[in-house]
């Protein structure tokens, strides 16, 4: 699975848009990009997944440039409850990808 | 994390005792994965099981650790003769099939070794 690099931590204020960028320079052609959110004392929760361009769901957007060497998770109008660790994972959605590799993630702190 | 149930949520053991962690996957899911998370770190893959079969245990220590997923009942992660270094959060995830994405995680069992 491709190695990913994320900022260790970020601070934001309530109501702001937060963008967390993940670098994955050696992403393979059949790799997808998946983001998880983890609150203290809870398991990771799936946020969004994409392959290229832009993906949007009810909680976030995922922007992937043409070269796919990075991706940006965008959280619109964050609230205090968005304070969590966010993990970027890269790997193929095919047989053998069950070994999710979590880095240290990005600790997002939302301030009032 | 509705669906994947892990128990107990907290488990305290003394050194040398055995720890049994249980995981009931989401309804209809027959693929289970166990991960371990140390404080301030990401999750690390331990083992992947299907009903009655261990598919990949490459991330699990060779000694003292074992896992099973019987035909009936939850998946069990068993740690024998626990040591202080086994203190961690253990997460279980499940999927519908091997290629299903994403994996759905439970809220973990926090194991503390006295």
Give the best residue of B57, B92, B102 to mutate against chain A (max A CB count within 10 A).
B102
Test A102 with B43 for CB contact under 8 angstroms: yes
Query: Is the CB of B43 less than 8 angstroms away from the CB of A44?
Result: yes
- Written as six digits, the tokens of A47 are 């946020």
- Decide if B99 and A94 are in contact by the 8 Å CB cutoff: yes
Please determine, for residue A99, whether its predicted confidence score (pLDDT) is greater than 80: no
Residue among A24, A66, A31, A1 at smallest CA distance from B44 = A1
**pLDDT tens by residue, chain B, 114 residues:** 459 999 999 999 999 999 999 999 999 888 999 999 998 888 899 999 998 899 999 999 999 999 999 999 999 999 999 999 999 999 999 988 766 578 899 999 999 999
* pLDDT value for A31: 85
pLDDT at residue number A103: 81
Size (chain B), residues: 114
Average pLDDT over residues A73-86: 96
| Ranges assigned E (strand) in A6-83 | 9-13, 18-23, 31-38, 45-50, 53-56, 61-64, 70-75
- What φ, ψ does residue B20 adopt, rounded to 5°? -120, 120
**What pLDDT was estimated at residue A95?**
55
Closest A-chain CA to B45: A99
Which pLDDT value is given to residue A1? 56
Query: B92 to each of A54, A56, A102, B7, B21, how far by Cα in Å?
Result: 30, 27, 14, 10, 10
Partner residues linked to B88 by β-bridges:
B111
> What percentage of chain A carries pLDDT values higher than 90?
71
Question: What is residue A104's three-state secondary structure?
Answer: coil
């Amino acid at each position: 699975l491709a190695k990913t690099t994320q900022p260790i931590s970020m601070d934001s204020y309530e109501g702001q848009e937060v963008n967390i960028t993940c670098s994955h320079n050696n992403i393979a052609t059949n790799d997808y990009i998946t983001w998880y959110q983890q609150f203290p004392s809870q398991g990771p929760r799936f946020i969004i997944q994409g392959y290229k361009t832009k993906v949007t769901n009810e909680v976030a957007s995922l922007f992937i440039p043409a070269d796919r060497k990075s991706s940006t998770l965008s959280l619109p109008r964050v609230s205090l409850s968005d304070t969590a660790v966010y993990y970027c994972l890269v790997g193929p959605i095919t047989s053998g990808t069950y070994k999710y590799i979590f880095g240290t993630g990005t600790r997002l702190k939302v301030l009032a | 994390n509705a669906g994947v149930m892990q128990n107990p949520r907290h488990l305290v053991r003394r050194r040398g005792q055995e720890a049994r962690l249980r995981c009931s996957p989401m309804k209809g899911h027959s693929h289970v994965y166990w991960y371990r998370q140390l404080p301030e770190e990401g999750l690390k893959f331990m083992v992947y099981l299907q009903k009655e079969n261990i598919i990949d245990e490459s991330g699990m220590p060779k000694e003292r650790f074992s896992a099973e997923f019987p035909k009936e009942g939850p998946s069990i992660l068993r740690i024998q003769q626990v040591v202080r270094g086994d203190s961690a959060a253990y997460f279980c995830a499940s999927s519908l099939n091997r290629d299903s994405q994403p994996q759905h995680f439970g809220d973990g069992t926090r194991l503390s070794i006295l």
